[in-house]
Amino acid sequence: MPAPLHVTLVDGARDTASVSVAWLSHQRRLGITVLHDTGASFSVIHPCELTDPQRYLVDGCVVMLTGIAFADAPEKLAEHVRALGRAGVAGVGLGVGVAVTEVPPGMVEAAQESGVSLFVVPLETPFIQVLQTVQEELARQRNRSRELLWGAQERLNGAANSGGLELLLKEASASIAAHVLLLDNDGRIAAQAWHGGVPSIGVEEVRRLVREDPLTMATRIGSLTALVHHVGEEGERSHRLIAVSRQVLGPDSRALLRHCAGLAELIVKRPAQYRAIHQELNTLALAIQLGLTKDPGETRMKLFRSAADSRGTIRPALIVAEQPRSLQRVLSGINDALEQVGRLLFAIRIDPRMAFAVFRGDRSAAEVYELMAASHGSARIAIGNTVSWRELSMEVIRQLERMVLRTRPGEWVGPSARGVDWMLEAPVREALSRRVHETWGRLAAHDSELERTLEAFLRHMGNISHTASELQIHRHTVSKRVRLIEEVLEVDLDDPVTRAELLVVAQAR
């Protein structure tokens, strides 16, 4: 289980980043000496020499002063500390060496009586250096807080994608240290996750919150705090996400809970969306069976709506794998990638090793490839220009076939690639098929490494060094393999015409 997000135990309007006087004293370059420490933390430090600065102060801040206003009567600094304590100040920092050379009598006692921390700043340490040190630490804490929140949100995303509601709520519960439940408006529990660090509660107490029908509210269940989020409505049905914790949830935890509520809404609505899609598929299948397809445009438009972009365009792609299992792996990888962004896969197998897929037209070719990057392996991929979904035809697939001929295993080409049309003509393909069997087929039966070596050798125009570099093997190994290939195929690879022929044949495999 990942480390849970730190639970913020302060009111949401207050900054969660803070430092203490003890922390300040550990910053050796400042040379600060602590005379009294209440242990309170602060996030605002304010240099102020006014004798009555109350109207300019915020609760819980630290005031820094040199005592210049009390230069003629330094003993009055003790009463000044008491006044600052009544104003809600958390601490006082006295800079010595300007107006006073040492801490005046009674000042420490006044700090102790008023519950105010007191520390001394040496003359060689400018106040601005203290302020800068505090601000840098506060910024570091805020950045860390954001990183923790983003990390927790990513874990929620992963939980929602892989485990549905139960895993989503379990992750949220661990992240914010709270019981988390999802109930519908009838009080039925859709999912729940109980946190061991929070006292147990009765389900009826949670159902009471649902019956009160709040959109979003914070309330109490005994000594515990409950936060309710409205998840969404579907007809007469709606849900509430409820978190119950020991303390008031801070801003990061509440932000994470809102993110959880959004993911829960997507999961709750997903079955209804899938049901609607299946109904449209059933309608189209029935229309085809009954011959009622004279005007199938409306039905097809509904089906393609989730595949096309707002302009009704799609981007086609052709995937050619070496084995049927490899093709299935690529399609499964694309499906997983699309599921993470809430999209469906539109794909069809042309043959056991070839599949045709369409994507939203507003995705660039590079973005389409990114959906396949993690799973394509040695498959060859051609991605075409955007077209209207109404223009989809076998000609689009044939154009992609011509493009994919120019790729090597594991590579892809985009719309700028141009195929070699004559290679797709039936007599040529038949002749190439025979030649593939006579050449690459013999190599495959002998040693698969010879196939890889020959293709790299041909593409590098017979250059041994470049071939060795691509394959990451020694030049002598390449030379040895080339001689063996010549023996197996009974060809002369020093002949550029022979190499050109074999390269063309390689594209027809």
Rounded-to-integer distance, Cα 282 and Cα 277, Å: 9
For the cut 90, the answer to whether the pLDDT of residue 116 exceeds it is yes
- Per-residue pLDDT band for 44 (boundaries 50, 70, 90) equals very high
- Beta carbons within 8 Å of 67's beta carbon, 6+ residues apart: 49, 74, 77, 94, 95, 98, 99, 100, 104
Which of the residue ranges 48-57, 135-144, 247-256 would you say has the lowest mean pLDDT?
Answer: 247-256
Q: Which tokens sit at 130?
A: 């203290």
Average pLDDT in the chain: 82
SS3 (DSSP) at 170: helix
| Mean pLDDT to the nearest integer, 28-57 | 92
Instruction: Indicate the pairing of strand 117-121 with strand 313-320.
Output: unpaired
The answer to whether the pTM exceeds 0.85 is no
Q: Which of 5-14, 120-129, 235-244 has the lowest mean pLDDT?
A: 5-14
pLDDT band per the 50, 70, 90 thresholds, residue 291: low
Secondary structure, 3-state, 266-308: HHHHHHHHHHHHHHHHHHHHHHHHHCCCCCCHHHHHHHHCCCC
